[in-house]
Amino acid sequence: MSVKKRFAVIGAGIIGSAVARGLVRRYEGADVTLYEKENHPAAHQTGHNSGVVHAGLYYEPGSLKARLCRRGVSLLRDFAHEYNVAFEECGKVVVATSDVEVKRLGGIHDRARANGVPDVELLNRDGLAQVEPNAQGVAALHSPHTGIIDYRSLTEALVADFRKSGGRVRFSTAVKKVEQRNGVAGNTAIVHANVDSQEYDQVIACAGLQADRLAARSGEDRNPSVVPFFGQYFILEPRFNDVVNGLISPVPDPKYPFLGVHVTRRIDGGLMIGPNAFLSFSREGYTGLGLNVPDSLAVATDSGFWRFAAGNMATAAREIAGVLSIEKFVAEAARYVPALDGADGHRATRGIRAQAMNRDGTLVDDFVIDRAGATMFVRNAPSPGATSALAIAEHLIDTAALS
C-alpha cells in the first residue's frame, strides 16, 4: 500500500492558490493543505493590482519572467474560460512621443518578438490613430492580445476548485517558520503555525510581501530583502470610460526603475490611471498613511535600500509629485492621451509591490525561487507574477517532483 504524500502551500494569493490546486490535481489522493494568515484569499498583492494580463513585451528573453509569462497567459485564458472568470483581450499600445522614445520602442519590439508575443507590431502616427484615436504620439507598439481580468475572482475560483478536488484550506492561520528535518527515509519539513505544527513531505512557500521574513525565520538568508513600494490608482469619472479602447502606456525611461503612469481599462468597464511608485511605510497598509513602525524600521535599517535611494533621487522627485497631487498624476497620463486633461475621479485602494532588493541596492528583476531541504521559497515574483501564476505553479511543482 502506497503512503499518501503530504504537501503544504503557504500563502493564498494567486500563486499559492495555483500551486495548491496544481498539486492536488497532479497527485491523485495527495493530502494538500493551503495556509493563509488572513480569513480570505487574495488579501494582499493579488487583490490590489491593476488587473492587467501582460503579454510579455518588456522581459529579458530567456528569463523566467519571459518564459513563464507566455505560458501563464495561455493557462490563465483557458482557466478563465472554463470557470467563467471575466477576461477581455482589449489590447495595448505603448506610445512614443519623441524620437528618443521611438528608438527605445524598437528595442521593446525586438524583445517582444524574441519572447514570442503574438501579432505585436510597430505603428506610425496614422496607425496609432486607427487603434486608439484619442492617443497622441509619433509612433507606438501595438500588442493586440494584452488583456484584463479580475484577479481576485480568479483566485477565488482556484481556491474553490482546490477544495472541490479534496484540498484543505486553513484561513486565519499564520505560519511562523518552516523547519527542515532530515531523516533516513528522506527530507521532510515541519510547518510551525500560530495554532499547531504539522509535518509534510514538501512545502512551497508563496508568502509575497512577507517572503523574506518567513525565509529568515526558517533559517534561510534574509536577502534578497523585500522593500515595499506602493502604487496608487486613480479611477476616472464614468464619462471618460470610452476615451480609450484598451490599455495605453508610455515608453519606459531607463533612468527610472518603474514603468510610468498607464491608462488602464478595468474589467468592470471603468477607466483608471496609474500606478505611481513610491516607498511604502507598511507592507500591508492600503489606506491612509499606511504607517507601520516595524515595517518602516526594516526599510530604515536596510543598507540595500539606502544604496538604491542614493541612485534614484530623480525617481523619488518624479513620483512624489503624483503622490501629492492628483492634477499632476492626471497630467502625466494626458501627455499621451490629451482627452484626459483635467479629468476628475477618485483614488482607488493602493496596491503594494513586494520588490526584492539585493544588498548592493539593485532591484531583483527576475522571478527568484530558493530551495532548502524539502521546502521551496518563492523569494521574488513581481509583475508579471499574477499573469504568470499558473505557469509559476507548474514550474514549482515540476521542480519539486525532481527532488
Q: What is the pLDDT along the chain (403 residues), one digit of tens a residue?
A: 456 899 999 999 999 999 999 999 999 999 999 999 999 999 999 999 999 999 999 999 999 999 999 999 999 999 999 999 999 999 999 999 999 999 999 999 999 999 999 999 999 999 999 999 999 999 999 999 999 999 999 999 999 999 999 999 999 999 999 999 987 668 999 999 999 999 999 999 999 999 999 999 999 999 999 999 988 899 999 999 999 999 999 999 887 667 788 999 999 999 999 888 888 999 999 987 778 999 999 999 999 999 988 888 777 666 676 666 788 889 989 999 999 999 999 988 889 999 999 999 999 999 999 999 999 999 999 999 999 999 999 999 999 887 6
How far is CA 44 from its chain centroid?
A: 11
**Predicted TM-score (pTM) above 0.85:** yes
Length of the chain: 403
Residue ranges of the chain assigned to CATH 3.30.9.10: 89-148+226-357
Residue ranges of the chain assigned to CATH 3.50.50.60: 6-46+153-224+365-401
Residue-level pLDDT at 348: 87
Q: Tell me how crowded residue 289 is: count the other CB atoms within 10 A of its CB.
A: 8
Class of domain 6-46+153-224+365-401: alpha beta
Identify the CA nearest to 65 among candidates 371, 368, 316: 368
Cα–Cα distance for residue pair 167/29, rounded to 1 Å: 10
Residue-level pLDDT at 1: 43
Cα–Cα distance for residue pair 113/159, rounded to 1 Å: 34
Helices (H) and strands (E) in the chain, counts: 11, 23
CATH no., domain 89-148+226-357: 3.30.9.10
| CA dist 332 → 22, 105, 139, 243 (Å) | 41, 19, 18, 16
Cα–Cα distance for residue pair 145/303, rounded to 1 Å: 41
